[in-house]
Structure 1
Amino acid sequence: MVLEYRKRSGIAMNEVIIQAQDLVKIYKSKKGIFSSRKEEVKALDHVSFEIKKGQIVGLIGESGCGKTTVGKALLNLLPVDGGKVIFQGKCIYDIDNHKMCSYKEMEQLRRHMQIIFQNPASCLNPKKNVEQLVSEGVKKHKICSKSEVREYCLNILKQCGLEEKCLLNYPSELSGGQKQRVGIARALALNPEFIVCDEITASLDVSVQAQILNLLLDIKEERGMTYLFISHNLDIVKGMCDEVIIMYKGCIVEKAKSEELFEQPKHPYTELLLKSLPAAYPDQKKTGYETKQIIMNAEGQGCLFASRCKYAKKECRERVPQMKEIGKEHWVACHQAVQMTN
């Protein structure tokens, strides 16, 4: 079945709504069951980008590349080891300079920046019905008077395509699509300006995916919403997003306008993704990708993608590529970007 949904519309503003600067996140794990030694894994390696008001920015990469970690770090849902996040001109945290907004300030910011998770069932309390789930944040942040809460929540649910009878249903009584709509309703109930959508269509049927995507586009047009859209579905990202960010092993390797990135990828990893990852069509045939083995030195210097890159040269394993602008608003971290262009 082909996924059919409306394409994005509207023009993004020039105002930056959220900005990440040099985000670093390190996870530590034991090397073995009986070992006391721990190894460090950089989930985020100096990740920097900004999102303008009204934009839908896609974040693409393989599983484990750090996409979800980025989304949570933006909303201060997990501690990071370095970097800074600024939301609407307010510094949420600046780890390197030991700055952090207070708990009270963060609570106020929470209503303006929300996240919708991939698996709504995991974040919906099974002991609460839909009305209780949606009204929880409304009451906490005093979005409306107590007498208006039920009517307010009902209007939000209707906007998300749910009927009044769903108010008394519990998560176990809802379908996957309905649970995701409740997750969206919970986020919208706080009237936020920015939402992180973390693989929100990954576990849904194709027809339900289209309904959810159209709902997000409707909300964007009605409220001027800004999204960070995390996904591995290239077809959806191409149709939904204004700009696209490509991540590999905790690093941003390319970012550009959606149309340009899909038509003229400048990083070998982006090229690989466009050729090999399945889109919305499960029967789409994969294209082979010839690679050349490059051995990384002991210090781990050089490009992280060098061992899989058919363009790799000596400098690729000796020097870490830095992000550089090779076209208008088209950035890439690759020594061989010019060679690829030619």
Structure 2
Amino acid sequence: MQYAKEIRILFCADTHLGFDEPVRPRIERRRRGTDFFANFQRVLDSARDRRIDLVVHGGDLFFRSRVPASIIDRVYRMLLEFAAHDIPILIVPGNHERSILPSSLFLSHPNIHVFTRPETKVFEFAGTRIAFSGFPCARSEVRQRFGSLISDTGWAEVKASVRFLCLHQSIEGAQVGPLNYTFRRGNDVIPMADLPSAFDAVLAGHIHRRQILKHRRPDGSSMPIVYPGSIERTSFAERFEPKGYFDLGIGRRIAGGRCRLKFDFVQLPVRPMEEIVLGDDIDQHGVRFFLISQLARLDPNSIVCLKCNEGVASEVRGALTSRLLREVCPATMNIQLGTHLFGRRKGSVA
């Protein structure tokens, strides 16, 4: 498929910067936060090196709303250095930022654009006006509020050749998790039927699995709803999911007056996620040897989740101390206890 004067947009989302990146760690060990920063830098470097026309970030730039100042400065300096190459970046605040990015003078750079309210931002590339309408993540009752939020963007009054709707929300039909949970109903789910057909595509963050949904317009054409997914695996529910971003190409007009859109997924490197399961044939004296032998078989950069069968004795579970895990786990790995291993939720320990 050939494109005349193709306009190129890089679309990423859910970078979750600050994940497992403590400012004053009590224990010195490899942290996963480095992986998230490294992949986001790869995204920005790719856009810069290929002279992409625009970068769109679909939300959850940060891992949480209360971010240490050092993390904020680190992230914003990355954005500032990128913006200095005269490539605009457009950001939709997500739910992890509680719908607003931390304030900073860095955000006043003319190439850094943030949806602080429902609005429409227009960019012109190669003589083509492209409108991006959107709003910060609506964290409550978006199903009821969606119509008014869309109207408040003023999209219908803006003249443009191409229109994108930028969101950080769950849309009907999106799937997540190893069991393919599908969003259907609920106050936090936007029905497909409510999406205005005038938009050429929906660019959405929030769902961590890469996917493109199709919404059938009244004229029979399809509107793509694009989720690039997260740039890193945030949990073992994403264990087998590829991570990356989309290159979006905007080409010449086709029948119906719309421009041809092309989406190419670009995969980013991720560390392997592995599970080790303790069977009920392991006793408390054999735990150390079992773990050492199992870990030795894995990629040295693995992220490991330790699980137990229901029949494992309480003495064996009790032997799984943080000290033991740090002693047997190679420094290049991360290891964590599986959810409900001890009857309550557990997190990363080594």
* Shorter-chain TM-score tier: 0.3 to 0.5
The structure with more radius of gyration: 2
- The answer to which structure has the higher helix fraction is 1
Q: What TM-score, normalized by structure 1, do the two folds share?
A: 0.34
Q: What TM-score, normalized by structure 2, do the two folds share?
A: 0.34
